[in-house]
Amino acid sequence: MQADLLSAFVRVGILVVLVATVALSATDGGIHQGAVIDIGLYGLATGASLILAWRRLYHPILPFAFATFDVVLIVTHMHIMANTMGLSAEMVSVPASTLMFVVLIHASMRYQPALIAYIVALFLISVLVTSLLPFPGMPMAMPQRMAATGLRPMGEIFAFDVLPPVLVATAGTILVLGVYRTRRLLLRSIDQAARSARLSRFFSPRIAERLSRDELNGLSSGLRQPVAVLFVDIKGFTSMAETMSPEELGTMLSEFRERVTECVFRHGGTVDKFIGDAVMVVFGAPISGPDDARGAVECGVDVLKTVAKWSKERMSSGEAGIEIGIGGHYGEVFVGVLGSGRLLEYTVIGDTVNVAERLERLSRETDCPLVTSRTLLNEAGIPNDGARWSALGEHTLRGRTTPIEAMGLMR
């Protein structure tokens, strides 16, 4: 539709140029009636294309219909010129053929190789047919004229009969190849945009864009790198699910995930996976940066504020409130694509992930909705002055033998 609208405006420009050219070349005898008819017909076609494009009425056959009109008009104009000047049609084929280059370039705006090939074939067939048939003002066709006047010089035949169609065919072939390559690039760009859109469901837009360009290496084989991991979970979800219908439960989970995801993307993180009512968030994979730890902490605080606001809205409408717990840790993990065959998953695994999940459970036993390791706060550059964070002491988390020092965000 955009190509149709642009093409219609180009037609307006061509019409203006044709009108100005005919007006400036008028002789004392005025403008030839045939030229007026040609310009009038082209003007009608221009108006029709504008109306169709403006009303967004598109059909795949329309470009071919307008192309057919243009070629027929040019070939007809070629014979009108010949009739007016008392020449044979082939003698005016050179100036008439130059108009075909305008038609070909105009058609290339649509990025349809088949359309350009169709125009070239139609022009060549039209020239061949019209050269073999008599027209008004020319009682004899070209073979008859040649027989009556004798053989023409080879140079004249090449210049007026062979060269114009060959030039049009050559230019058309080059345009077909160029438009074909451009179309492939456009389709590849569209595919890349679609891939980026799919990735943006899990990654922040900045990360999704880089992943869609395949700039990252080593994901299939995996690599080790430090990351910050957050686990966000709804407290008391099991009891809530017992009293809610499947529709209510699905709506609530969708709204919860949407709000958490917005916070994660706002701070440049990655949604690694959804696990029922829990969300696993990663900062530093697949793209690491110097502010991954701080981004994770700020994201955790943002999620708490966002969910608290949402919970008030739910309670004001008579629905159950939502309370969450968040755990966070910073350390080295394995980053890569796991699985085989059709079941592939990009994820991070390691002790850091387990610690973050255990610290989220610790938030249920304390009055701190966000519990992190001191390591995460130190990496984030957040001072341990006790103004906002409370030291929860060392805890030996399930599955680990080494205790970890926990810090809790005070309400």
Among 164-168, 185-189, 249-253, the least confident range: 164-168
Helix (H, G, I), strand (E, B) or coil at 230: strand
Question: How large a percentage of the chain has pLDDT more than 70?
Answer: 76
Residues paired with 395 in a beta bridge: 404
Q: Return the CATH number of 217-409, one of 3.40.50.970, 3.40.50.620, 3.30.70.1230, 3.40.50.80.
A: 3.30.70.1230
Q: Which two tokens stand for residue 43?
A: 């003007």
With contact defined as beta carbons under 8 Å apart, do 225 and 332 qualify?
yes
Residue length of the chain:
411
Tell me the average pLDDT across 244-265: 92
pLDDT range class, residue 357, cuts 50, 70, 90: very high
pLDDT of residue 14: 85
pLDDT of residue 342: 63
Q: Which two tokens stand for residue 149?
A: 């006047």
Report the amino acid identity of residue 200.
Answer: S
By CB atoms closer than 10 A (0-12, 13-18, 19+), residue 187 is: exposed
Tell me the average pLDDT across 257-282: 91
> CA 179 from chain center: how many Å?
19
State the Cα–Cα distance between residues 365 and 372, nearest whole angstrom: 14
pLDDT of residue 84: 56
Please identify which residue in the block is written with the tokens 């009512």: 277
pLDDT digits 0-9 by tens, 193-236: 777 677 666 666 666 666 666 555 555 567 888 999 999 999 98
State the Cα–Cα distance between residues 6 and 8, nearest whole angstrom: 5
Q: Is the pLDDT of residue 341 over 80?
A: no
pLDDT of residue 352: 93
pLDDT digits 0-9 by tens, 139-167: 444 444 444 444 455 555 455 566 778 88
Q: What is the pTM of this model?
A: 0.55
Tell me the average pLDDT across 323-352: 83
DSSP 159: I
Helix axes 62-85, 93-108, angle to 10 degrees: 160
With contact defined as beta carbons under 8 Å apart, do 72 and 125 qualify?
no
pLDDT digits 0-9 by tens, 371-381: 999 999 999 98
pLDDT of residue 106: 86
pLDDT of residue 386: 58
With contact defined as beta carbons under 8 Å apart, do 189 and 111 qualify?
no
Please identify which residue in the block is written with the tokens 């140029």: 17
Q: Is the pLDDT of residue 137 over 50?
A: no
Q: Is the pLDDT of residue 177 over 90?
A: yes
Structural domain spans, the chain: 59-199, 217-409
Question: In the predicted model, what is the mean pLDDT of the chain?
Answer: 81
Kind of pairing, strands 389-395 and 404-409?
A: antiparallel
Q: Is the pLDDT of residue 138 over 50?
A: no
pLDDT of residue 115: 92
pLDDT of residue 28: 59
Q: Is the pLDDT of residue 246 over 70?
A: yes
Integer-rounded Cα Rg, in Å, for the chain is 36
Report the amino acid identity of residue 308.
Answer: A
The residue with greater pLDDT, 394 or 3, is 394
Give the CA distances from residue 381 to residues 263, 348, 353, in Å, rounded to whole numbers and listed in that order. 21, 24, 21
Among 209, 342, 230, which Cα is nearest to 286's? 209
Report the amino acid identity of residue 176.
Answer: V
pLDDT digits 0-9 by tens, 15-52: 888 788 777 766 655 666 667 777 888 889 889 988 98
